[in-house]
Amino acid sequence: MIAENLPVLPIVLPILAAPLCVILHRPRLAWPLAVAVAWATFGVCCALLARVLADGTISYQLGNWAPPFGIEFRVDSLNAWLMPLVSGVGALVLTYAPRSLAAEVARSRHGLLYGVYLLSMTGLLGMTVTGDAFNVFVFLEISSLSTYALVSMGPDRRSLMAGFRYLIMGAIGGTFFLIGVGLLYMKTGTLNMADLAERLPAVKDSRTVLAGLGFLATGLSLKIALFPLHLWLPSAYTFAPSAVTAFLAATATKVSVYIVLRFFFTIAGVGESLGNGAVREAIMLLALVGIFVASLVACFQQEVKRALAYSSVAQIGYILVGVTMLTVDGMTGALVHVFNHALMKGGLFMVLGCVVARVGGSRLSDLRGIGRRMPLTAIAFVIGGLGMIGVPATVGFVSKWYLVLGALEAGLWHVAAMMLVSSLLAVVYVWRVVEVMYFQEPEDAPEIDEAKTDEAPFGMLLPTLVMIGATIWFGLDTDLTVDVARRTAAMLLGGGS
Amino acid sequence: MSTFVGLYNYWIVIVLMMAGLYTVIAKGNLVKKVIGLNLFQTSVILFYVGMGKVEGGTAPILVHGDGAEEVVYSNPLPHVLMLTAIVVGIATTAVALALVVRLNEAYDSIEEDEILEQDPTT
């Protein structure tokens, strides 16, 4: 019974638990429920991944209505590995959340926040698992709407404006996506992804389909924060509660990248969409400009959360550069970077959450002397930062290695060089923080005992260290991530479904 | 001329859509922005409904008896999809208006420039 319905459980579990959290309301009751459900979801996703790796693609008919009329959930090697990532990061951040939220959000809102958080997770997992184009839109809106609410629960009033801006941009992006799906439906008469993939090649040159793909690309670019459509992202990440930022930075944009891959590679086919030289080069150019501009802006921020948010925009650039190379190595690099960046950025934002819980802010001036006061937290930041730069033995190195290999394979020497140079910018924005943490003394606390430390609470520190530890684990043991990514990359570039 | 008159429903969609998008971009009042966003989303509903209409088609309710085979139905699927889109639009508007209420409590204003004056870094 459970084994048969495995693909639908990651949606059913959190979406049922979400209203329960709201009804229970008291954090003491709502949090254990939310955490238990999140970890159970993670378990289900891992079981799904194991089954897909062993037996190949799973197709699940929702309510036994056969596709293309019913909605199909389809798990193949592209989305199977994304689901444990989303649910795993979601569960880990939720485990970390209560102590972090205690410092930032009124206690009466915690129960609501857990409920909305689970809804957001439902939406992201639903976008990943579904095999129906319109269903993607529905789950996209579930996750987006709950994300707007999460962002605006931030500790100060600026989070409200950040949430509102995100809502406007997100709703426009979602609506563009809907128009795109409509245009594809007009021409093909189906919404099922496998059916779309079959029928699109026959009409690929029609203006309707091209316009549809254009709308899809624009809408999704807003959602993945491709430069210059990233304007909502820095404020949303800066002003949201730290735990929410860690979850969003690790998952939200990544799932949208997956949707791009799904629509433009497995559905429309490489040759028909991105293979068109001008489009491909335009996206690659935007991604490269995004890497440099966002990294440069990150170097001048006083608020560390905002610096990391701009760094996220740059990392999205790396992923898209890898995708647009259209080589197996480049695509492998992009897929691995989706995974690796989720771990690194999630971990770094969790570190900042620890600092906020102890010091009360995450501006550079707040971080003075953290190296002595919170040694483990500071080391976690250093390791995460080294990953952002791409130092060997961290995950950042693995993804940059494949991205550069892919660029060389495609004969794009200048792209490879630019990626290496842009890593130097990462050195700058990471070093600024490290310098302040270790070599600057706080101004107003001279009587701190040298030997005495003031670490973040254990409940926050442990998940943070697990997340940062994972960036080293997957940096050394690349078998799992690179193998799956390589198989998936070959599948994506081989065309067809 | 035939593209203009024959496809008039799409022209209406485009005009509505652009009016909505312009309102979102150009107006500083947050409630007006929400109204613009709503208009923008509603135009897509019209787009789908127009798409599902078959010329000479009737409502998609099964007809029995004489001549049942010749009856042409409109495509019900896009119409059904729009039920979901309407719900999404209402939810978006509700969340947006809730945020505007909270913003008004926090800043005592719903004008974007006045809010930015009080908090330049947002």
Q: B69: distance to nearest CA of chain A, Å?
A: 22
Contacts A185 to B, Cβ<8 Å? 51, 78
Q: Between B69 and A140, name the one with better pLDDT.
A: A140
**Cα angle: A147, vertex A489, A318; to 5 degrees:** 55
pLDDT score recorded for residue A443: 67
**A269-304 CB burial, b ≥16 within 10 A, e <16:** bbebbbeeeebbeebbebbbebbbbbbebbbebebb
pLDDT of residue A19: 92
pLDDT score for A412: 83
- Cβ-defined contact of B41 to A185 (cutoff 8 Å): no
Which chain B residue has its CA at the smallest distance from A149's CA?
Answer: B95
So what's the pLDDT on residue A245?
A: 93
Q: How many CB pairs under 8 A join A and B?
A: 77
To the nearest whole Å, the CA of A309 is away from the closest chain B CA by: 14
Instruction: With H, G, I as helix, E, B as strand and everything else as coil, classify residue B122.
Output: coil
Chain A residues inside the 8 Å CB shell of B41: 171, 175
Judged by CB atoms closer than 8 Å, whether chains meet at A145 and B84 is answered as no
Domain regions of chain B by residue span: 2-54+74-118
Q: Nearest residue on chain B to A182, judged by CA atoms?
A: B48
What pLDDT score was predicted for residue A497? 37
Write out the residues of chain B at the interface with chain A, using a CB-CB cutoff of 8 A.
21, 24, 30, 33, 37, 40-41, 44, 47-48, 51, 77-78, 81, 84-85, 88, 91-92, 95-96, 99-100, 102-103, 106-107, 115, 119, 121-122
What are the chain A neighbours of B81 within 8 Å (beta carbons)? 134
Contact B37 A157 (CB under 8 A): no
What does DSSP say about strands A72-75 and A58-61: parallel, antiparallel, or unpaired?
Answer: antiparallel
CB atoms within 10 A of CB A490: 13
Closest CA to A89 of A354, A339, A333, A257: A339
- Inter-chain CB proximity A141 and B92 less than 8 Å: yes
Q: Choose among B41, B81, B115: nearest Cβ to A175.
A: B41
Residue with tokens 């208009």: B39
Give the pLDDT confidence score for residue A138 in this predicted structure.
93
pLDDT at A496: 39
Q: Are the beta carbons of A168 and B21 separated by less than 8 Å?
A: no
Residue of A nearest to B25 (CA): A168
CB within 8 Å: A148 and B99: yes
Give the residue from B25, B37, B81 with the most A CB atoms within 10 Å of its CB, the best one to mutate: B81
pLDDT at A204: 76
Looking at domain B2-54+74-118, its CATH architecture is Orthogonal Bundle (1.10)
Please give chain A's pLDDT, 497 residues, in tens.
677 888 888 999 999 999 999 998 888 888 999 999 999 999 999 999 888 888 888 888 888 888 777 888 888 888 888 999 999 999 999 999 888 888 888 888 888 999 999 999 999 999 999 989 999 999 999 999 999 999 999 888 889 999 999 999 999 999 999 999 999 998 888 888 888 888 888 877 788 888 888 899 899 999 998 888 888 899 999 999 999 999 999 999 999 999 988 888 888 776 555 556 677 888 888 899 999 999 999 989 888 999 999 999 999 999 999 888 888 888 888 999 999 999 999 999 999 998 888 888 888 888 888 888 888 888 899 999 998 888 888 888 888 888 988 888 888 888 888 888 888 888 998 998 888 888 887 766 555 555 567 777 888 889 999 999 988 888 888 877 888 888 888 888 874 33
Q: Is the ipTM of this complex over 0.90?
A: yes
